[in-house]
Amino acid sequence: MNPLEDVNLHHAALSVADMERAIAFYGDVFGFRVDTRVTADDGSMEIVHLRKGDRFIELFCHRDPLPLPDHAADLGLDVRTIGTKHLAFATDDPHGTHAALAARGVDGLTAVHEARYYYYFFLKDPDGITLEIVSRKTGENA
């Protein structure tokens, strides 16, 4: 057996400007809760692991954060730039999830798009980080 076959994705990491605001957003909107919380020895940043079941998001909050680059906020431009694009969450009900997020007034909410295998849409977290909601189609056309 190849031991690499047992390697799985553990977490995604995001840098945020306001830790408490990020914890509240990912908790209130997606149900993540604080699992661990540490401060760097030199006090320069705080690191929080959020957990929902066996899924984690790691948040970094530096005392002197740099803003999100303009090109990273534009979906059309950002895909041309090498690097991480967005964090995606899965749902079984894309239209219901979209309606719930719209009712919360989240930023950057796009329409629900239909692709060959998925329904998907995008939104922004409080720091302007792009998030995607996806739902795999079922049935013979999926």
Instruction: Kindly list the structural domains of the chain, giving each domain's residue range(s) and its CATH number in brackets, ordered by start.
Output: 1-65 (3.10.180.10), 67-142 (3.10.180.10)
Angle subtended at Cα 29 by Cα 70 and Cα 131, rounded to the nearest 5 degrees: 30
The 10s digit of each residue's pLDDT in 79-125 is: 777 778 889 999 999 999 999 999 999 999 999 999 999 999 999 99
Residue with tokens 């009712």: 103
pTM value is: 0.89
Instruction: Indicate left, alpha or beta for 80 from its phi (over 0: left) and psi (-120 to 50: alpha).
Output: alpha
pLDDT at res. 75:
74
